[in-house]
Structure 1
Amino acid sequence: MLSAVRPLLPLLALLTLTPGVDALRLVLLSDFNGSYGSTTYPPALQKTVQCILNDWKPDLVISAGDLIAGQQASLSAKQVQAMWHSFEQKVNAPLRNAGIPFAFTLGNHDASLASDRVQAASYWKAHAPELQYADKTGFPFTYSFTVQNIFVAVLDASGPNVDAVQRRWLTAQLATPAARGAKFRLVMGHLPIAGVSQGKNRLGEVIRDAASLRQVMQQGNVTAYLHGHHAAYYPGRLAGLNVLSSGGIGGRDYVGFPGTARSVVTVLDVGQDSIQLTAYDADTGKVIPSASLPARIDGLNGPLTRITELR
């Protein structure tokens, strides 16, 4: 059990955590891959990992995908293995050695090609995070787990087709005693159900038949859908469902708001009735005020309207 108030990054002295926040803390870190085939990561990633280890000290890191730089057919199996080895050295092993599990969904750069999926499965089956799994039969592509009062279901949304099989699986997962007994229910997938960033606001970059998936989540009383891919941090509300768009290391402009790209990592502090969100610019270390985000984003399948917490 972690203390109610924890030390933050010294560079982030502008923020003081609100006393009384419950002990459970998560960090959301996604979309940090380099260019195709790269075995190195941007400097902001290593800075962020050090913040996680030394300052934020969460119970769990969650990621909405794009952990390596695959999705190029010309890359050999050896090259893809080298990228996973780099991820292991730079991200996963330091967290694991500190007792911080890394829970993830696979992104398009991790697992959209058949050959990449083989390598992703091989890596993760050898490095499965220590979680309280509710269903691990589809791991690492689909699985579910609990962490204290949170139930998390992970979809394979590395591409736009989250088919009927996955929707039935999700429906069943949300009906389990583990999900029903949780205070908060999160669903995580890589592609979004509505457009957030200008550069990705098109067909093929959002989930196909998103309304059907959204209906499954709403009927299952999901607290929020967490996604990556658009690399633009935005906590929003979409037709009755909370949607948390994870930022990336190297971001993209919001739809309709040029010049707004930035790298973002988010701390989630879980309280009795809500999950508080604190977003940081991963390059500068500064807190990003929620009021600085667009009040509304009119992307594909939208609109999304800004929220400040998940409940």
Structure 2
Amino acid sequence: MQFRNAYIAVTLLLAIILTAFVAENTIHETNPRARKIRKEQKDKPIKICVISDLNASYGSTQYPYEVSQVIQRMGEIDPDIILCSGDMVAGQKASLTEQNITDMWASFKTTVLNPINRLGIPFGFTVGNHDASPSFSKDRAISKDFWKENVKNTNLTFVDSTNYPFYYSYIKNNVFIMSWDAAGAEIKPEVYRWMKAQMEGKIARNARLKILIGHLPLYAIVDSKNKPGEVNSDPAAALEFFKTYGLDLYISGHQHAYYPSKKGEIRFLNMGAIGDGPRKLIGNTAEAAKSYTIIDIPVKNARNFTYQTYTPDNVKIELSSLPDSIIGFNGTSRKDH
């Protein structure tokens, strides 16, 4: 009798374990999000095209010629993903009406998002101060509505979209990418808490490269933005966070000047603009060229990724043309060789 009871107990236990295993794997296999993430966790070469600061003057629904020039070249460039480090429209002015702002986003969709979507290229972005400044609630609300309505057009494989479009994460070819809300100088504590959870998650830990994209940079590199309010309010804390959680690259906009730099093992890509208003690097007399950047990430040794930066006319910007270092009010940026 004891043997029979033991046999029944073991059989029931095995049945429970098997049922749980089958159920878990059935859910896992039939979850579309999980399938998409698994597909993107494969190590493959990846080409990223980065654009930034597309807008013209306040309230404008027209884009500078160079924006269309670069967007029309995307089919030829053939990137695996496009990233935009902010300022896609020209908001952040109190006199702009809801209709003005809505019209700007409609123009962005026609000029930028739709052509990219037709190519089937994923589009990751971060909001800039002219898109969703923390001080302009109307801008933020309309920006949020636009991106919620057009989430499918991004073609992104989201890891966490709970706080989309202000901060969220996604993955491409096992490169883990986060967009944080750096439309203003202060990064809120809840954003850091979210990032910590993301970086400690299994998907990020197993990724071969970790990238963060935000609008405001950590350090000033141009004359006109060499002051508080135009850069991260606490770059020392941000840098320490990056080091602690193994970030590899921070991409930023706002300064309208290309300058790749490095601090320790962390690389920084300060993006040039393709919209209006290229600016002078600190210490330079000439304005920076309008530009976009291609990041090539190999399958192995992903941290050895390379930059190629071009003007909208497809002229390469040589690294040798940039200063070895730039001293801003809040720190020194040294060129990434």
What does 1:1-311 correspond to in 2, within 5 Å?
23-53=45-75, 55-112=76-133, 113-128=136-151, 129-249=154-274, 250=276, 251-271=278-298, 272-273=300-301, 274-282=304-312, 284-308=313-337
| Alpha-carbon shift at residue 242 of structure 1 (Å) | 1.2
Partner deviation per Cα, 1:162-193 (whole Å, 9 max, x = no partner): 02221121111111111111111001110010
Q: CA deviation at 1:23?
A: 3.5
The separation in 1 between residues aligned to 2:50 and 2:308, in whole angstroms, is 10
Q: Percent identity?
A: 34
Q: Aligned partners of 2:316 and 2:333: how far apart in 1?
A: 22
| Deviations, residues 267-309 of structure 1 (Å, cap 9, x unaligned) | 1111122221100012x3200111111111111322111114x
Question: What are the superposed Cα offsets for residues 87-119 of structure 1, whole Å, 9 maximum, x if unpaired?
Answer: 000000000011012110000000001100011
Q: SS where residue 118 of structure 1 aligns?
A: helix
Cα distance between partner residues in 1 of 2:137 and 2:255:
22
Separation (CA, whole Å) in 2 of partners of 1:201 and 1:242: 20
RMSD (CA atoms):
1.2
Whether the 8 Å contact between 2:52 and 2:273 is mirrored in structure 1 is yes
2-side partners of 1:170 and 1:40: how far apart? Answer: 35
Q: Describe the shift of the 1:239–1:257 C-alpha distance in structure 2 as closer, same or farther (beyond 3 A).
A: farther
Give 4+ residue runs of structure 1 displaced > 2 Å after superposition.
Answer: 238-241
Secondary structure of 2:72's partner?
A: helix
Structure (1/2) with the larger helix percentage = 2
Distance 1:167 1:211 in 2: 14
What TM-score, normalized to structure 2? 0.82
Q: Distance in 2 between matches of 1:104 and 1:86?
A: 17
Number of residue pairs the alignment of both structures matches: 285
Residue identity in the other structure for 2:171: T
Larger Rg: 2
Indicate if the aligned counterparts of 2:258 and 2:288 stay in contact, CA closer than 8 A. no
Give me the whole-angstrom Cα distance separating, in 1, the residues matched to 2:108 and 2:287: 28
Which piece of structure 1 moves more, 110-119 or 162-171? Answer: 162-171
For 2:238 and 2:184, how far apart are their aligned partners in 1?
14
Segments of 5+ residues of structure 2 without an aligned counterpart are: 1-43
Distance 1:212 1:158 in 2: 17
* Cα distance per residue 1:48-73 (max 9 Å; x no partner): 011112x1011111010000000001
Helix, strand or coil for the counterpart of 2:330? coil
Contiguous gaps of at least 5 residues in structure 1: 1-21
